[in-house]
Structure 1
């Protein structure tokens, strides 16, 4: 399909898009990026992904992939993880939330990942994407903000600034958004697409990687299925940017993971590493309201933040007639597990969030639901809390356990991981901005 690349990037989501643009800025380096989904430059795909007020994630969407998960164990509550599958990845289909995490999140990642190391990369990405905030609120956002104001919560000037002074939670804040004039402006659109006319950058869509091509303990490329059938693509270095689910699936299916689990499936072990053993995600309870949904607005315009919670007055109901209020736990203690059930790459992995495994997490969510009830009393009727997920799964291949601080997979030559897999824990805010930052930073390692 193409000549051997110096760097072969698997996945053209937010991380892969930024990494591909950054690395191909060197005209002597040949970069190929592979994407399982369609090309966002196609007029039909762009019509789905551009409008920021609509999430194109329905059951028949051609730009997402779905994975089953068990949110809780007792009783078992089943759900689906939805991930973008097109040029731009989840950044081309999500709600546009683009918020920095607290600086304290980077006190334990590893050498080269302090706040002083990463903050310039946050700024660099934000300048390119041009982050915006809603200044005039209507509908359920305005209703919730008014109720929270009456309950005594003040306005925080900047959710992207470190807490302190007037910016110290609890309080209300506008959500930083990668939306301009109603259009999603994610890393795929801003970084990757303008760079695709470079002669040393190739993007291949409709190419699904099934496993790594290995020569002993060295990666030489990938096995994939393209529009015309199975192919092998060669490269000097492979970088997995397929997201925390698919990156883990590819590592495990290629023999990189817990040795006992792999042996049980008949997968030859290349490196015994704890892939998928302790991921984290933000559990979320959804409470329906009696407010009217509004069209033409971002899905989430403002939030109430406390020390550990983010209360989200959504403008939509995610399948229900009325908007929901989400109560999300931003410092979860629970850890989930991702594992293979088969060596067949066409069979989805087993994902267990185990959100109910830590009683203190459940207690925090109850406190959040009680807080919402107190705030909205007299303003709207609330439905019962329903378990959900913020769709922020991270940490299936964490720095210090599966990759080194330069994102290189331990014990395997010529293989790196650059996406949310490498974060030791899910950040204290939604991870999109953090994933974009880490790709911008990781480009310095190649």
Structure 2
């Protein structure tokens, strides 16, 4: 029998235990603790620096992407299969700020079409009109200030990438020559086209949600943030969540709380549900886990965005980027016409060899190839998560099911070909000697191009949908509109797990939005 605690430094059990201090958890905990009458305990598995200078070296340099660096201390790796024949390693942030500490600083809002889809199952709370005040409240937009679409008082500072680097100038000219419209504000719901990337990196510094939301709130007497505290499962008694089992320094204890909110991310939150007996009955029973709630939708499906990297060779040495690794981004629509702007071509101003090694440039290689990250962002649920063991240390099996349909493969071919066409324009040709691959013979043959893509396939790390929201009588739903787990009182999920499908843009901004929306519902007692 594990000992029982209230959280170190708290005289009584906290009103809310937040599991995870990442994109959603940091926002939710900070907003809940604005109410001085509510005590909040945050349990984070990774380290919790108390000052920006205490983060791992290079973690906040916006010219680098820690998530691209194998073995970075702020990462937790997962072995997955992108296709049945394509094993891969994906990563998630580990520590204060979660994946907002290790991602690319891309902070683009979901599209109105996404909110329409989510509202169809999650209710009016997820309509664009209802979430817009939260989107404004969470940001300080340094380009637009306060207006009908943007905010100037929120914890997340947003600035769009400058398009002054020669490679960004060339990409913009190429997009214009190919007939794509300008989209100067990717957060304004304008028709998709070419534009700068809204980013939570300012003056070369990545400002993660731990810094933006929590560091300034740590002196609140009603807020306690504990690092190196791994939650192993939720403790449920008579249909109600009453606490969590936590491991610290090799010792385990039950920490009691009034309400439990899982903000551990789209892999860990559903895994914690399953470890707690909330999941598909047959799978839980096969592993000897007592069933608390038969919830067949936990981990049954998930969505993400397949990605390939296309590299091009500069004709002459180019300057290092000054503020961000990001250049411009082009959004265009695949030929099936179902989801406008579902293809993304994202420009890197740092060589891939530099991103993976934690360097802005590659020593001894002044003409190192630069890259485009090319992805299909159609909101599909092709993945499957399956538990392998009742041991909390054993990660689940994750099969992404990428490019399993002819439509998926066609969309990726289209994105690759537009990228090649952009690099082949006269505007870009003044700067580039062309793509390193694929060669023209491969580009012009569907079968050869499919083979080339499958051999180099990666992912955008945008996982969503492992514990989706929806009505209580829908077997495809796990939580309600505000993250409350159906059939288990006192337990919520508040991260990208709850999205019914991934958005048409990277979900970092949406993860923060989820924290804001759920915190507001809890503070106001919304049902």
TM range (shorter): over 0.9
Of residues 10, 14, 20 in structure 1, which corresponds to 2:23? 14
Residue pairs, 1:271-310, within 5 angstroms: 271-273=293-295, 274-291=297-314, 294-307=320-333, 308-310=342-344
* Residue of structure 2 in register with 1:152 after alignment: 179
SS in 1 for 2:159: coil
Counterpart of 1:387 in structure 2 is: 457
Distance 1:121 1:391, change over 3 A: same
Asked if structure 2 preserves the Cα contact closer than 8 Å seen for 1:334 and 1:356, the reply is: no
CA distance in 1, matches of 2:414, 2:250: 54
Normalising by structure 2, we get a TM-score of: 0.80
From 346, 349, 362, give the equivalent of 2:393: 346
Distance in 2 (CA, whole Å) between partners of 1:98 and 1:340 is 32
Aligned equivalents of 1:275, 1:250: Cα separation in 2: 10
The within-5 A match list for 1:74-89 is 76-89=85-98
Residue of structure 1 in register with 2:65 after alignment: 55
If the length of structure 1 is used for normalisation, what is the TM-score?
0.94
* Residues 1:72 and 2:77 aligned together: no
Partner residue in 2 for 1:223: 245
C-alpha offsets along residues 274-330 of structure 1, whole Å, 9 cap, x if unaligned? Answer: 111111001112112213673544232311111220111222314495222122111
- 1:335 paired residue number: 382
| 1:440 aligned partner | 516
1:250 aligns with 2:272: yes
The alignment status of 1:430 with 2:506, answered yes or no, reads yes
Establish whether residue 123 from structure 1 lines up as the match of residue 132 from structure 2: no
Q: Which stretches in structure 2 are left out of the alignment for 5+ residues?
A: 1-6, 141-153, 334-341, 358-367, 439-452, 471-476, 523-527
State the Cα distance separating 1:142 from its structure 2 match. Answer: 3.2
User: Can you list the C-alpha shifts for 1:185-223, whole angstroms capped at 9, x where unaligned?
Assistant: 222111111001000000000001111112132111111
Q: Please, which moves more after superposition, 171-180 or 286-295?
A: 286-295
| Residue 311 (structure 1) aligns with | 345
Q: Is the CA contact (8 Å cut-off) linking 1:334 and 1:358 kept in structure 2? A: no
Match 1:45 to one of 51, 55, 59: 55
Question: What's the counterpart of residue 445 of structure 2?
Answer: none
Q: Is 1:196 aligned to 2:202, yes or no?
A: no
Q: Deviations over 1:2-61 (max 9, x none)?
A: 241100000000111111111011111110001111113364425432211122232332
Asked if the contact 1:334/1:357 (under 8 Å) is kept, the reply is no
Match of 2:254 among 213, 232, 238: 232
The RMSD of aligned alpha carbons is: 1.8
Q: 1 CA distance for matches of 2:88 and 2:281?
A: 29
Paired with 2:326 and 2:459, the residues of 1 have a C-alpha distance of 15
**Structure 2 CA distance, aligned partners of 1:85 and 1:346?**
15
Q: Structure 1, unaligned stretches of length 5 or more?
A: none
Aligned 8 A contact 2:165 2:321 in 1: no
CA distance in 2, matches of 1:30, 1:196: 12
Q: Which has the larger radius of gyration?
A: 2
| Alpha-carbon distance between aligned partners in 2 of 1:334 and 1:32, rounded to the nearest angstrom | 33
Deviation of residue 255 (structure 1)? 1.0
Other structure's SS at 1:27 match: coil
Cα offset, 1:334, TM superposition: 4.7
Partner residue of 1:419? 495
Q: CA 1:261/1:360 → structure 2, altered by over 3 Å: closer, same or farther?
A: same
Distance 1:383-1:408 versus aligned 2 partners, 3 A rule: same
The residue correspondences of 1:94-173 to structure 2 (distance < 5 A) are 94-109=103-118, 110-111=122-123, 112-127=125-140, 128=154, 129-163=156-190, 168-169=191-192, 171-173=193-195
Task: Mark the CA change 1:198 to 1:228 in structure 2 (over 3 Å): closer, same or farther.
Answer: farther
In the aligned structure 2, how far is the partner of 1:216 from the partner of 1:244? Answer: 27
Counterpart CA distance in 1 for 2:177 and 2:240 is: 61
- What's the CA shift for 1:162? 1.4
2:108·2:509 contact (CA, 8 Å) conserved in 1?
A: yes
